[in-house]
Amino acid sequence: MNIAISQPNIFDARQVSINEILNQELEVIDYQKNITTSYGEGRYIVLVKLNDIRMKFFTDSKRMKEQLDLVKRDDFPFLAKVSILKFGERKKTYHFT
């Protein structure tokens, strides 16, 4: 149809909660940064594969975003687990291990 869209490609995959994939080895395939959601701006969307099923999740974890930015594009895909890092009584963040 030759119609340009302003929305970036946000991956054709089922969206999951980060809690659904915690502590499971998965393949991190790709990511896109600076996505705006109803929760705010600057989110990342991450495309992963778990048990041969492609899925995506949104994150605003500063630690996880820094980790993704440090991986060279040539090093994708890579294997990792999403883990929780707790600090304080009620504070937590997510990161790749």
Domain ranges for the chain, please list them: 14-96
Domain formed by 14-96, architecture: Beta Barrel (2.40)
Instruction: Spell out, as residue ranges, where the chain has pLDDT lower than 50.
Output: none
Residue 77 to residue 27: CA distance in whole angstroms: 6
pLDDT in tens, 8-21: 568 999 999 999 99
Q: What residues contact 4, with CB distance under 8 A and at least 6 apart? A: none
Predicted TM-score of the model (pTM): 0.88
**What's the pLDDT score for residue 61?**
96
Q: Is the peptide bond before 8 cis (omega within 30 degrees of 0)?
A: no
Rg of the chain (C-alpha set):
14
**What's the pLDDT score for residue 77?**
98
Residue 71 to residue 44: CA distance in whole angstroms: 14
Residue 22's nearest CA partner among 57, 65, 54 is 57
pLDDT in tens, 40-50: 999 999 999 99
